[in-house]
Structure 1
Amino acid sequence: MVENGRVLLAQRKKDAQLALKWEFPGGKIEPGETPEDCLARELKEELNMDVAVLDLFTAVAHSYGTRNILLLAYFCRRLGGVPMLRQCNDFSWVEIADIMKYDLAEADLPIAIKLQGEKKNHA
Structure 2
Amino acid sequence: MVELSTPQLDIVFHALGDATRRSMLRQLSSGDRTVGELAAPYAISLAAASKHIKALEHAGLIRREVRGRTHVCRLEPGPLASAHQWLTFYERFWESRLDVLERVLREEANGNPANSKTGD
Determine if the TM-score, normalized by the shorter chain, exceeds 0.5.
no
Normalising by structure 1, what TM-score?
A: 0.22
Query: RCO higher in 1 or 2 (8 Å CA, sep ≥ 6)?
Result: 1
Normalising by structure 2, what TM-score?
A: 0.22
Q: Comparing both structures, which one devotes a greater share of its residues to helix?
A: 2
Q: Comparing both structures, which one devotes a greater share of its residues to strand?
A: 1
